[in-house]
Amino acid sequence: MGLTVTVGLDDAGARLDRLVSATWPAWSRTRWQAAIAAGHVRVNGRPVRRAGYALTAGDVVHAAAPAEPPSLVLLQHEPLDVAIPIRYRDDVLVVVCKPAGVVVHPGAGHPHGTLVQALWPDVAAAGGEPGRAGVVHRLDRDTAGLMMLARSQMARAALSDALTRRTVHRRYWALVDGHLDPPTGRIEAPIGRDPRHRTRMAVTVGGRPAATRYETAARWARHSWVALELETGRTHQVRVHLAAVGHPVVGDPVYGTGPALGQTHQALFAYALSFEHPTRRGRHLTLMEPWPERWEDALAQLGEPEQGAIPPRHTLTPISSI
């Protein structure tokens, strides 16, 4: 199945992703962007892999439909092999500590075994894009830590708006290669799709604005323990920014050198979430999570820091686990 459309004068100069998503609104713009990156959209017979490609009047665009996402009505509860600790839950909101290795929602290559399916039907009433019920922000598959999901449509809209207004504070711990200079600062660099590797992100001219604050907590001869806070929420933002300044996350298989210091997943952890409750005016929630026990292996190899100190690790008891 596909669609073919000839660009008219009114659409001259339009972005390719905007045109196809407007012409075929059954598919989200995000899904069309993925289809464009994969080469499934042709302009005048040639694949165009840039979502922002500017069209000209008379261009003939042919697009194959992206793979159909899982329907909400077909979703069902699928328990995972690992427990999902629940750190907070009420009638409109749930906050979990996502384990490393767990994909957030069904998609290409991951139709089953996701966080959304493990939480189903707890997030069913939140609605949203098919397969992504309740999702308002994501963590990468191999990044662990705190993540909130909505349980009602009102909460989903309010939380999404809060993210847009940057009133949700998300903080991370990371073990990185080398030493950031200066030890405390801000990385501001636009992030977009890597033009050479379409499955990766990169600091690119014309990318979306992105900013990350950081503070070095401890240093060893060749590594650092860093606290980070997102100002924006771009795909792979922390990993891309750290790699761009020459200090990738330890264990990062995409932007770094892969497994290191005994870490099979990247040493990046979302340890704190702070936000206003989406439906209870004046109630502010702050949740904090101890860094992963598996990082003990890395610390044992590194020994005592030469400068600074590692934050103490306290054991928390989950309210419940799925």
Strand duo 201-203 + 60-64: pairing: unpaired
Any catalytic annotation for residue 161?
A: no
Closest CA to 84 of 126, 109, 110, 114: 114
- The residue annotated as part of the active site, out of 11, 17, 122, 140, is 140
Contact 192, 208 (CB under 8 A): yes
Give the C-alpha separation, 290 to 94, whole Å. 18
CA distance to 18, 82, 219, 266, per residue, from 215 (Å): 39, 32, 11, 19
**How many other CB atoms sit within 10 Å of the CB of residue 105?**
22
- Rounded to 10 degrees, the C-alpha dihedral 234/238/240/241 comes to 110
Strand partners, 172: 228, 270
Strand duo 223-230 + 169-177: pairing: antiparallel
What 8-state DSSP symbol labels residue 178? S
By CB neighbour count within 10 A (0-12 exposed, 13-18 middle, 19+ buried), where does 25 fall? Answer: exposed
3-state secondary structure of 258: coil
Give the C-alpha separation, 176 to 18, whole Å. 38
Tell me which residues are annotated as active site: 140
